[in-house]
Amino acid sequence: QVQLVESGGGSVQAGGSLRLSCAASGHYYNSYCMGWFRQVPGKEREGVAAIDNNGKTDIGDSVKGRFTISTDNAKNTLYLQMNSLKPEDTAVYYCAAESPVGSGGYCPAESAADFTYRGQGTQVTVSS
C-alpha cells in the first residue's frame, strides 16, 4: 500500500503562485509514475502533470508553460509548482502514483487522473 499526503494548497489571487507538495510512504518505490490531477465538483478528473522514474515529465496542455512537476527522491516527495495562476485553475488537487506494472513505464499527464494510489487532495482557490 502507498500513502500519499498533499500539502501547500490555499487561496491566491490571479497571477500568483503556489507550490504543492506530496509526501509518499509505505510500499512506494522510485520506479513509480507520480503525478497530479485536479477535480472540480461535477466535472471529470483532469490529469495535470506526471513524471516517470527517469525524471521525464509531461505537462497537460491547459497548464503547460505555467506548471512544473518535480521530485526529491531522497525525501520521497513530489512537487507541483504553479505559476501565473488563473481562476480556472481553482480545484481540488490530488497527488497520485502508479506502479510500473500498472503504467508500463509510460506516464503521460492525462494518465495521472487514473493512477491507482491517490492522496486526500488539497484545495486551490484562485480569485480574479
Q: What is the pLDDT of residues 28-52, one digit of tens each?
A: 777 889 999 999 999 999 999 999 9
Which percentage of the chain shows pLDDT scores above 70? 100
What's at 123, amino acid-wise? Q
Which percentage of the chain shows pLDDT scores above 90? 80
- The pLDDT of residue 91: 98
22 SS3 class: strand
- The pLDDT of residue 89: 98
How is residue 26 written as a grid cell?
509505505
- Which segments of the chain are extended strands (E)? 2-7, 10-13, 18-26, 33-39, 46-51, 57-59, 67-72, 77-82, 91-98, 117-118, 122-127
Residue range 2-13, pLDDT digits in tens: 999 999 999 999
| Mean of pLDDT values over 54-76 | 94
Pairing of strands 10-13, 122-127: parallel
Q: In angstroms, rounded to a whole number, what is the distance separating the alpha carbons of residues 24 and 1?
A: 11
Residue 67 above 80 pLDDT? yes
What's at 26, amino acid-wise? G
- The pLDDT of residue 95: 97
